[in-house]
A and B are shown apart, each in its own frame.
Chain A
Amino acid sequence: MHQEAAIREPLVLGEKTYGQITDDVLAPVVGKASRSWWIVFGISLVMALWGIGCILHLLGTGIGTWGLNKTVGWAWDITNFVWWVGIGHAGTLISAVLLLFRQKWRMAINRSAEAMTIFAVMMAAVWPAIHMGRIWLAYFVFPLPNQFGSLWVNFNSPLLWDVFAISTYFSVSLVFWYIGLIPDFATIRDKVTQAVPKKIYSLLSFGWTGNAKAWNRFEEISLVLAGLATPLVFSVHSIVSMDFATSVIPGWHTTIFPPYFVSGAVFSGFAMVLTLLIIMRKVMNLESYITIKHIEYMNIVIIVTGSIVGVAYLTELFISWYSGVEYESYAFINRATGPYWWAYWAMMTCNVISPQVFWFKKLRTNIMFTFFMSIVVNIGMWFERFVIIVTSLHRDYLPSSWTMFHPTYVDIGCFIGTIGIFFVLFLLFARFFPVLPLNELKTILKSSGEQYKKIDE
C-alpha cells in the first residue's frame, strides 16, 4: 500500500485505531452538547431572529427601508451577497481541488469546510432574493413557459448567469457533500442505540452497506464530481465578477475581475474555515485530527491568495492611470482619497498588508494569532466588496448625480441576521453530523497516522 515519506508530519496524532477515530468523531453526536455549544448557539439564534425580523420588515414595507438611493442602487445587499459567495468557495475548493491533487491533509477539514460552503451559499442566495423590489415575482428569472406566450428571460444579462451559476454551484456542492456523508451516517446508524436517532440516521444513510462495489462507485463519483466541481468553483465567482466587469461603470468595467474575484474568494473562504475550525477543534477536542499542520497549510494558502489579491489591486490602480480615461482614473483617485477613503484603506490593510506576516512560521503556527487574522481577513474582504460596489457607484459619470450611501438599521440587521443563521446552521451541523469524514480518515490512518509512522521508522 501507499507509503508516505517519514519527514512529512503526521496528520493524525496519537495512538489511534479505526474504532477510536469513530468514537472521537461521533462523541458529540452520541453524547450531550457542551455548555459552550449552547452559549454560542443561543447568541447565534438571537442574531438570526433579529435578522429575520428585519427581513420581514423589508419585504413588508419596501426596499426604501434600506439606505439606497437613486445613484447607489446596490450597497450592503450585493456586498453581502458577494462576500458570502466568496466564503462559500473554500469548501468545494478544499474537497475538490485538493482531492484532485491528492492532498491528504484536506481530509481533516473538508467535511466541515463543505458544510460551511453549503451554508454560506445559502446565506449568499438570500441577498439577491431579498434585494429584489418584487420578490414575489422572483420566479420570473427562470425561463418558464407562461401564459404570456413567448415571454422569456434575457440570456445576455450577467444577473441571469448568476442565477444559473449560484443554483448549480449550490446544488452540486450539496450533492457532493451528501454523497461523502452517507457512509458516515451509516456508521452512526450502526453505532447509536436509541430508537429515534437510529431511525433518523438510517433514513439519512440511504441504507448504505459499504460493500466493495459500492465503495468502488463511491470513489469514482467522488473523483468525477471533484473534477466537475473544480471548474465550477472558478466559474462561479468569475460569473459573479461579471456582474460588474460587463457593466459600463468606471471601477466596475475591469477585465481582471474574474481571477481577482476567485482568488479573493479563496482567500476569504480559507479565513472563514480557519475561524470555524479553530473554535471547533477546541470545543469538540479534535486537536489530534485538526493539527497545527493543517492550520499552517491553510495559512500558506492565505498568504498566496492574499498576495494575488494585492497584485490585483495594484494592477487596477496602474491601469486606471495608464488608460488615461478621465472617469476611470477619477474612480480610483476617489476610492483612495474620496469620502470613502477609510473603506479603501481598511481593505488595503486587512487584505494586502496584514496577511504578509504569515511569512513568519512562528506566527502562522500560532493558533490565537491565526484566529485573529482570519477575522481580520474577512473584515477586509467585506470592505473590498463594499469599496468595489459603493465607491464606484456613488460617483460615476455625471457629477450632478453623485451621492453618498448611509446604511439604515435594516441594512445592518439583515446582515447580522445572515451571520446568525449561518452559525445556527453550522452549530447544528457540528452537533448532529460527523464533522470529520470517517471513511476517508481511516484510509489515511496507516499512511499518515503518528503511531504507524513510528513503526515505519
Chain B
Amino acid sequence: MSNETKYWKGAEELNDSPSFQRIKNKEFSEYIPVEDFVGDENIVADSKTSRRDFLKYLGFGVTAASLAACETPVNKVIPYVVKNDKINPGIANYFASTFSDGSDYCEIVVKTREGRPIRIDSNIKSPFTLGGINSRINSSLLSLYDGQRYKAPMIDGADSDWFTFNSGVKKAIEAAISNGGKVRFLTNSITSPSTLKIVNDFIASQADADIKHICYDPVSFSGTLEANQESFGKAALPNYHLNKAKAIVSVGADFIGNFPSAARLSSQYAEGRNPEKAWMSKHFQFESSMSLTGSNADVRVPIKLSEHGKVLVALYNQVASMLGASQLSSAKTAYDEKINSAAKALVKAKGASVVIAAANDKNLQLIVNGINQLLGNYNNTIDINKAINLRKGQDAEVATLVSEMKAGSVDVLVVSGVNPAYSLPAEMGFESAMEKVKTSVVFALRPNATSAKAKYVGAETHFLESWDDHNPVEGHYALSQPTINPLFDTMQFQDCLLKWTGEDRKYYYILKENWENTAFANQSEYILFEDYWNTCLQSGFETMNVGNEESVVEFAASLAAPTSAINATKGSDWEIEFYQKIGIGVGNQSHNPLLQELPDPITKMTWDNYLTMNPNDAKENGFATEYGEQKNADTVNLSINGQEFKNVPVIAQPGQARGTLGVALGYGQSIGKENQIVGINFYPAYNGLKNYSTSVSFESTGEDYQVATTQTHQTVMGRTSVIRETDLNTFKNAEKDDYNPAHVLATHHGPKDVSEIDLWAKHPVKGAGHHWGMSIDLNSCTGCSTCITACNIENNVPIVGKDEVRRSREMHWIRIDRYFSSNPVDVAEKNYTAMETPEDNPMVVHQPMMCQHCNHAPCETVCPVAATTHSNEGLNQMTYNRCIGTRYCANNCPYKVRRFNWFSYQNYSKFSALNPAQDDLGRMVLNPDVTVRARGVMEKCSMCVQMIQETKLTAKKEGRSVIDEEAKTACSSACPTNAIQFGDLNDSKSVVAERSTSNRAYRVIEEVGAQANVYYQVKVRNTENKA
C-alpha cells in the first residue's frame, strides 16, 4: 500500500479499549483446552479415535479446506455499520460548492458516489460564472486523492498533532505580540468574506500589535489595481461583459485561458461569436506568443513585447482622432494600419466594445482605461462599480514583506494557499529571508518549496473537505461545503486561525453566524435562517443588491506621464514572455498528472514547458521545427534577467512574433510517487512580476530532448471536408453551397447527395426511439480543452505518461485537433510538401474530435468477434470483455478515435508513478459506473452511455420522456461555451436536431459514407476577405 490510509476492522479497534488490546495479541480469543486434553495419558489411551480414523479425518479436513479455498478471495470490503440514509449505493449525490484557489474561481457541482467525490461540474445556475469551468478546476478533484498529501501536521519536519501545532503557533504569536515583533499572514487572494472577517477581527483585536495580512498572486494584476485606483479611486479589477461587446481589442490578454474568471469570460465571449445572431463580435488580438485567445481572434497581430504599450498609445490616438478628442504624443508603430482597423471597429461599436490588456504595468492599464473611457464602455461592457474580487495581490506589499523578513523583524509568518519560495523571483530572495523568520507556519496540501523551509507545516484540508464562502464580485456570494470527511488528520487554515485567536468554535459556525448577520439580514424572503441557509447551500450561491448601484465612475487620471513612460521603453533583439499554460496555469496543480497530460491547445505538447520561438527564427538558429517519436527538440542554455536555465527545449511556435520568445510558468515542481520534476521553473527570472523581460540570451547546447506531442502534423492539408470555414459576409449573404457545399456523387440516377446514397435499405430501428447525436460548433469552440479532462475523469481514461504520449499512445477519448492554416497559394496548387508547413502568422481552428458513432461504422463490420456493434439508439458500442484486440477496428476508423490498451495501465510498473488507479487512495477517484479497461482491449468514446442510461431511468421513473438537453455527456456538460451539444436527433425539436439541419451543419469527411452522428458547424470568421 502506497499510503498510510487506516481502515479499522471494527468499532473495537477504533476505540481501542484495553480489553480489546488484551484479546488482540492472543492467537485464540478465548481459552482452548488443548493442553489438558493431550497432556492427560489415560484420556488419550481410552479414546476411541484410532490413528486410522485420525488420518481419515485429517484427509477429509484437508480436502474440505482446499475445496473451501477454491473461491476468489475478497480483498477489502468495508460495509456501512449503520447505513447512511442519504447515500444509496449506485445513486449519485450532487453538492453545490465553489472552487477558489486565488487564480481560478468557479462555482461548481460535485458529484459523489458512495460518499466520495468523483466528478466536478460547473454550476450552470450561477449568474456569475455562467456555467463556465476549465480543466484546472475539474481536474482539482484528483488532488484530493493525491497520495503525496500531508497526512498530519508537522513540526520541524517531524509528524505532530494539531494540539501541539496550534498551541505552539499560538504561543509564538502571543510572544511576538508581547515583544512587539511583526506577525504576517501571507495568503492567496482570499475571496472569503468570513475568513477576511476573522483575520481582520484578529488584527483589530490586537490594535497595538504589528499584524498584517498580505495577499499574493504568483501572476498578479497589481498593475491594473493601481491603474484603477488612480483612474477611479478604486483598486479593483473591472467586471467585463464580453457578451455585450461588438468589438474586442486585446493587447496580450489571454482572457479566455488565463485571466481572473477566464471560464466565465469565455462563455460570454462565445455568446458574442454566434454568426446566426444579429451581430457577431470582431476580435483583434495584438500579442507576442500565441495564446488560446489569440488563436480565436479574427485579426491577430504578432507584436514585440516591448511594443504592447506603444500599440495601446497608438490605438488611443487613432480612437481619439476619430472621436475628435485630444491625442497623446506617440511614435509610429509598424502595425498602424492594423491598429487603424481595430480603432475603426472600436469606434463603430462605441459603448459596446472592450479593450483589454494583461500586462502587469500601471502605465499600460491607464492607457487601456483611457481608451475604454473614450469609447464610453464603462457601465456598458465594463463594470467597475461591481468590481471583481479576484487577484487582489499588491506586489508592493509582498516586496515590503520580504524586506521585513530579510531585516529579521518578522517573528511569525503564516503562509496559506501560496508557495512563495517557489514562485517569487530569485532576486527577492524569499527562501533566505524565510530563514530569518523566527516562527514560520505554512499550510499546504502536499510538500512544496515553502513548506520544506517551514517550522510548522499545517496539513491543509482539500477544498472538497472544507467549509468556506466566497464573494467573487460585489453583490454575489457563494458557498463551499465539504463533500467528504477529511481523508487525513488535516485542518483548514481558518479553523487553526480561530484556535490561535482563542475562539473555540469551529469555522463552520463562524461562517454561518456571519451569513446570518449579513446575508440573511439583507433579505426578506425567508423568516427562518435555517431555511435560508439550506437553500443557499443547495443552490451554492446568493445574489443581493449591495454596494453603489450604477454610479457613474469619474475617470480622473492624466495619461501624459504614462505615455512618456511607455514611449521611453526600450526593446531588444530578443524579448521573452512569461505565459501560463491552459493545464498548469500558475502552477498550483502542477503535481496533477491529468493536467500534465492535457495537451497544450496551441503546441499540443504534454508533460513539459519549453522555449517557444517563431519557426523562422528557429530555422535561422538551426533548431528543429518538427517533433515526433523520433524527432526531438533541440535545447538551449537560456539566461533571463541573469538567471541561468540549462537544456531548455526549443519548440517552434507558428504565430510567435519574430524576435520574441515565450516560457510557461508553473512548471519545475515534483510530481507523482517518484517525485520526478516535470519541466523547468522560470519563476526565479520573473523579476518584478512583469510579464516579460528584454534581458534574455540563449546558446544552443547541441543536444536534443525528447518531447511528447499528441499531434505531429500541424496543417489540414487543404482537406475542406475535414475543416470548413468561411467569413461573415459570405455566410450572411451567399448561398449555403458557397461555404458549405454538399458532397454530390454521380449515380445511375444522376448526381445524388452522399447522405442519400446507401448500399442497403434503411435499418429497421432508424427513426424509432432515441437516436443520440452531437453537434459541435467550431465557432464557439475556443479549444480550452475542458472537455478532455472532464471526459478523462468521467470515463476513467488512463494516464499513460510522457514516454507513451511521445509514442502517440495517449488514451484520450476526446481530443481537440488544432490546425494551422497553410499558405493559400500552396493549397490552391496542391503543393503537398509546402502545405505541411503552417503560415508565419497562421489562422487556427480547434476541432474537438471523438468517436463519431457512425451509422455505417467501418469499425463494426471488421471486428471478427462482433465486439463493437451498433445500439438501437445510434450509439457505436464497445463490448470490452468480448474484445480480443486485433486493432482492425482502429485501423479502419477514418477518424482515428479508437484507443488501444497497449499495457495494463493499472498494474504495469511503468505507470505506477502516475496512474491513480495504481494506488489505493487514487483508485477512489474512479467512476464506479465505468469499467477500467483490461490490457489488450480497444476502447473509445461511448458518448457517456452510463450518463444517458441514468437520464433515461430517471425519466422512466418519473413516467415522462427524456427532455431535450437533459441527457448530457461529460464533454457537453463541461463545455463552457456550449460548443458541444448532445441530444436526441429523432426529437425534431431538440437543439442537436435543429443544429444538424442548419446551413452551417456538416459531417467530417462525409463522402466516406460512414454517416456520422456528430455534426459540426462551419467556422465563421469575422474577417473582410474570404478565408
- A contact set with B: CB distance below 8 Å: 61-64, 67-71, 73-74, 128, 131-135, 137-138, 140-141, 151-154, 156-160, 163, 243, 246-249, 326-327, 330, 333-334, 337, 393, 395-404, 406
Listed residue (B629, B719, B884) with the most chain A CB atoms within 10 angstroms of its CB: B884
Partner of A62, one of B722, B847, B888, B903: B903
Partner of B722, one of A160, A395, A397, A404: A397
A-B contact pairs, 30 of them (CB 8 A): A61-B908, A62-B901, A63-B885, A64-B903, A68-B887, A69-B629, A70-B808, A73-B891, A74-B887, A131-B886, A137-B884, A141-B884, A151-B882, A153-B864, A154-B864, A156-B861, A159-B862, A246-B862, A247-B862, A248-B858, A327-B719, A393-B891, A395-B713, A396-B896, A397-B895, A398-B1004, A399-B713, A399-B719, A400-B847, A404-B712
CB pair A397–B810 under 8 Å, yes or no, is: no
Tell yes or no: B936 within 8 A of A by CB.
yes
Minimum CB–CB distance for B687 against chain A, Å: 39
Minimum CB–CB distance for A138 against chain B, Å: 7
CB pair B849–A398 under 8 Å, yes or no, is: yes
A63: chain B residues within 8 A (beta carbon)? 885, 887, 900, 902, 936
Tell yes or no: B717 within 8 A of A by CB.
yes
CB pair B809–A140 under 8 Å, yes or no, is: no
Listed residue (B858, B864, B890) with the most chain A CB atoms within 10 angstroms of its CB: B864
B interface, over-half SS? loop
Report the bound CA distance from A275 to B884 in whole Å. Answer: 37
Listed residue (A70, A128, A160, A334) with the most chain B CB atoms within 10 angstroms of its CB: A70
Report the bound CA distance from A133 to B862 in whole Å. Answer: 16
User: With A61-B908, A163-B864, A403-B629 known to touch, is A133 a contact of B883 (CB < 8 Å)?
Assistant: yes
Q: Among residues 685 to 730 in chain B, which have CB atoms less than 8 Å away from a CB atom of chain A?
A: 711-713, 715-717, 719, 722
Report the bound CA distance from A132 to B889 in whole Å. Answer: 12
B711: chain A residues within 8 A (beta carbon)? 400
Listed residue (A67, A248, A395) with the most chain B CB atoms within 10 angstroms of its CB: A248
CB pair B712–A247 under 8 Å, yes or no, is: no
CB pair B866–A247 under 8 Å, yes or no, is: no
Report the bound CA distance from A138 to B936 in whole Å. Answer: 12
Minimum CB–CB distance for A230 against chain B, Å: 27
Tell yes or no: B314 within 8 A of A by CB.
no
Partner of B1010, one of A61, A73, A141, A248: A248
CB pair A154–B902 under 8 Å, yes or no, is: no
Report the bound CA distance from A426 to B712 in whole Å. Answer: 45
Minimum CB–CB distance for A416 against chain B, Å: 22
Partner of A73, one of B819, B887, B937, B1004: B887
Minimum CB–CB distance for A384 against chain B, Å: 18
User: With A133-B887, A160-B864 known to touch, is A400 a contact of B882 (CB < 8 Å)?
Assistant: no
CB pair B713–A402 under 8 Å, yes or no, is: yes
User: With A63-B936, A70-B899, A140-B884 known to touch, is A152 a contact of B809 (CB < 8 Å)?
Assistant: no
| Further contacts, 19 of them, CB under 8 A, given A70-B810, A140-B865, A333-B832 | A62-B908, A64-B902, A70-B898, A74-B888, A132-B936, A133-B900, A134-B885, A157-B862, A158-B862, A159-B886, A246-B861, A246-B862, A395-B713, A397-B719, A399-B715, A399-B819, A400-B849, A402-B712, A403-B712
The count of residues in chain B whose C-beta lies closer than 8 Å to any C-beta of chain A is: 61
Partner of A400, one of B713, B832, B864: B713
Chain B residue nearest to A243 (CB atoms) is B888
A398: chain B residues within 8 A (beta carbon)? 722, 817, 849, 894-896, 1004-1005
Tell yes or no: B935 within 8 A of A by CB.
yes
Q: Among residues 619 to 642 in chain B, which have CB atoms less than 8 Å away from a CB atom of chain A?
A: 628-630
A333: chain B residues within 8 A (beta carbon)? 832
CB pair B628–A403 under 8 Å, yes or no, is: yes
A131: chain B residues within 8 A (beta carbon)? 886-887
Listed residue (A337, A396, A397) with the most chain B CB atoms within 10 angstroms of its CB: A397
CB pair A62–B904 under 8 Å, yes or no, is: yes
Partner of B864, one of A71, A151, A157: A157
Minimum CB–CB distance for B856 against chain A, Å: 10
Minimum CB–CB distance for B859 against chain A, Å: 10
User: With A132-B885, A134-B884 known to touch, is A71 a contact of B808 (CB < 8 Å)?
Assistant: yes
B895: chain A residues within 8 A (beta carbon)? 397-398, 401
Report the bound CA distance from A208 to B713 in whole Å. Answer: 67
Report the bound CA distance from A156 to B1005 in whole Å. Answer: 24
Report the bound CA distance from A311 to B825 in whole Å. Answer: 35
Report the bound CA distance from A158 to B865 in whole Å. Answer: 11
CB pair B884–A69 under 8 Å, yes or no, is: no
Tell yes or no: B985 within 8 A of A by CB.
no
A69: chain B residues within 8 A (beta carbon)? 629, 807-809
Minimum CB–CB distance for B670 against chain A, Å: 26
CB pair B887–A140 under 8 Å, yes or no, is: no
Minimum CB–CB distance for A157 against chain B, Å: 4
B263: chain A residues within 8 A (beta carbon)? none
A interface, over-half SS? loop
Report the bound CA distance from A326 to B832 in whole Å. Answer: 11
CB pair B935–A133 under 8 Å, yes or no, is: yes
Report the bound CA distance from A98 to B915 in whole Å. Answer: 60
Partner of A248, one of B629, B810, B883, B894: B894
User: With A154-B863, A248-B858, A400-B819 known to touch, is A133 a contact of B901 (CB < 8 Å)?
Assistant: yes
CB pair B832–A330 under 8 Å, yes or no, is: yes
A61: chain B residues within 8 A (beta carbon)? 903, 908
CB pair A134–B892 under 8 Å, yes or no, is: no
Chain A residue nearest to B811 (CB atoms) is A70
A73: chain B residues within 8 A (beta carbon)? 887-888, 890-891, 900
Chain A residue nearest to B858 (CB atoms) is A248
B884: chain A residues within 8 A (beta carbon)? 132-135, 137-138, 140-141
Minimum CB–CB distance for B899 against chain A, Å: 6
CB pair A141–B865 under 8 Å, yes or no, is: yes
Report the bound CA distance from A393 to B808 in whole Å. Answer: 14
Minimum CB–CB distance for B792 against chain A, Å: 16
B929-973 vs A: 1/0 string, CB under 8 Å? Answer: 000001111100000000000000000000000000000000000
Tell yes or no: B757 within 8 A of A by CB.
no
B804-843 vs A: 1/0 string, CB under 8 Å? Answer: 1001111000010111000000000000110000000000
Chain B residue nearest to A333 (CB atoms) is B832
A399: chain B residues within 8 A (beta carbon)? 713, 715-717, 719, 722, 819
Listed residue (A128, A131, A153, A154) with the most chain B CB atoms within 10 angstroms of its CB: A154
Partner of A70, one of B863, B896, B908: B896
User: With A133-B883, A160-B864 known to touch, is A404 a contact of B815 (CB < 8 Å)?
Assistant: no
User: With A158-B862, A396-B896 known to touch, is A70 a contact of B629 (CB < 8 Å)?
Assistant: no
Tell yes or no: B1008 within 8 A of A by CB.
yes
CB pair B628–A157 under 8 Å, yes or no, is: no
Minimum CB–CB distance for A387 against chain B, Å: 15
CB pair A401–B896 under 8 Å, yes or no, is: yes
A334: chain B residues within 8 A (beta carbon)? 832
Report the bound CA distance from A40 to B523 in whole Å. Answer: 95
Chain A residue nearest to B817 (CB atoms) is A400
Minimum CB–CB distance for B277 against chain A, Å: 30
User: With A154-B866, A158-B862, A248-B1008 known to touch, is A397 a contact of B894 (CB < 8 Å)?
Assistant: yes
Minimum CB–CB distance for B281 against chain A, Å: 28
B866: chain A residues within 8 A (beta carbon)? 152-154
B628: chain A residues within 8 A (beta carbon)? 403-404
A134: chain B residues within 8 A (beta carbon)? 883-885, 934-937
Minimum CB–CB distance for B869 against chain A, Å: 8
Report the bound CA distance from A158 to B861 in whole Å. Answer: 9
User: With A61-B908, A134-B885, A154-B864 known to touch, is A404 a contact of B630 (CB < 8 Å)?
Assistant: yes
Chain A residue nearest to B895 (CB atoms) is A398
Report the bound CA distance from A140 to B628 in whole Å. Answer: 36
CB pair B809–A64 under 8 Å, yes or no, is: yes
Report the bound CA distance from A67 to B807 in whole Å. Answer: 8
A70: chain B residues within 8 A (beta carbon)? 808-810, 890, 896, 898-900
Minimum CB–CB distance for B744 against chain A, Å: 13
Q: Among residues 896 to 914 in chain B, which have CB atoms less than 8 Å away from a CB atom of chain A?
A: 896, 898-904, 908
